[in-house]
Amino acid sequence: MVRIAEPVPATSAPLDGADRDTAAYAIPPCYGDATPTPQPPLPGTAAITIVHGPGVRAPVEIPLATDTVLIGRHRDCDIVLTDMTVSRWHAEIRRAGDAFTVTDLGSLNGTYVNRTPVDQVPLADGDVLLVGAFRLMFRSGTAVASGGGSR
């Protein structure tokens, strides 16, 4: 597993003057000016890329390594997005075989897939999720392997 971001320890100082509720990941410094080329996921695998949001300076890819991934502001979530626009337990991504589904967990600001509010919807490769002020991109190896694209 490749990790391009490390969680910010609770005792660390805020990044670049941000308060404690805005920085979810400490993005490591760039080494050189080369922009890494995203690699397509392997068949049967998936990842969420944090594309935009408070404290995000560069895309952060997080592999979906378990069958259930919780997204929220709470420290026990699998993907922690620490901004007040994100509910503590905001959304859940669930794997069933090679298919993935996102479910809103009753969040205050809602969960959007491709700018449409959703309660529960299957995910396709390239779908964009809006969770609070964060924009996340879903990448699935199944769609890449079968030649499919985003909807």
In a domain, 120, yes or no: yes
- Which pLDDT does position 19 carry in this prediction? 52
As given in the structure block, the two tokens for residue 122 are 């299957």
Residue 83 covered by a domain: yes
- Say what the pLDDT of residue 45 is: 81
| 6-15, 96-105, 130-139: least confident range | 6-15
Q: Kindly state the percentage of the chain with pLDDT values over 90.
A: 60
Q: For the chain, what percentages of helix, strand and coil (3-state, to nearest 5) are there? A: 5, 35, 60
pLDDT digits (tens, 9 = 90+) for 38-72: 555 555 689 999 999 999 999 999 999 899 999 99
CATH number at residue 120: 2.60.200.20
Count how many domains the chain has.
1
Beta strands in the chain (DSSP E): 6-7, 25-26, 46-52, 60-63, 68-72, 79-80, 91-96, 99-104, 111-113, 116-118, 120-123, 128-131, 134-140
94 occurs within a structural domain: yes
**pLDDT on residue 141:** 76
Supply the range of the domain harboring residue 92: 60-141
Domain membership flag for residue 26: no
Letter for the amino acid at 128? V
Cα pseudo-dihedral 101, 64, 32, 126, rounded to 10: -20
Q: What is the pLDDT of residues 4-42, one digit of tens each?
A: 444 445 454 444 555 555 444 444 455 444 555 555 555
Is 137 strand, coil or helix?
A: strand
Cα dihedral: 81, 29, 39, 148 (round 10): 40
